Amino acid sequence: MREGYVSSHMATVEEQYEIVADRSTNRLSLTLLGTLDEEQVAEAAEEAVDEAETLRPGFDIVNDISRFRPPSPEAAEPIKEAQAELLEMGVERVVRVADDETSQVVVNAFSRRSKQVGYEGMTAESVTEAERKLS
């Protein structure tokens, strides 16, 4: 692992999530895969906040939801709570990665929740495009 990175990773056969805080770019990268249950969403949300604590205020987020499937409304509540915490911690810009295959339910839900807590994110079709938008 490169210096300056903090990584949390939970990978099982069912595909889960990956969270990486890069202190050199002051960026939090999140990848959500498949369908997560309520407990998994809560774990991922908590890890995202924990990793963001290693970054400076003004950090950016790249959130790859391109292969994420809609969770139940109850399971999604920790996402909104984490979004509010990340805003309080000083997130500056957020880019969501969503492509033509991404569920519009997922895209709209993330957008709606972020607006409810007080920020709007940009959208990109790839992680590379998201990183370009933040450079």
The region that residue 118 occupies, defined by phi over 0 for left and psi between -120 and 50 for alpha, beta otherwise, is left
- As a whole number of angstroms, the distance between CA 123 and CA 61 comes to 11
Please write the tens of the pLDDT for every residue from 96-129.
999 888 888 888 888 888 888 888 889 999 999 9
Q: What is the CATH number of domain 5-134?
A: 3.30.750.24
Average pLDDT over all residues of the chain: 87
Is the pLDDT at 7 greater than 80? The verdict is: no
Domain ranges of the chain: 5-134
Predicted pLDDT of residue 77: 87
Is the pLDDT at 6 greater than 90? The verdict is: no
- As a whole number of angstroms, the distance between CA 55 and CA 48 comes to 11
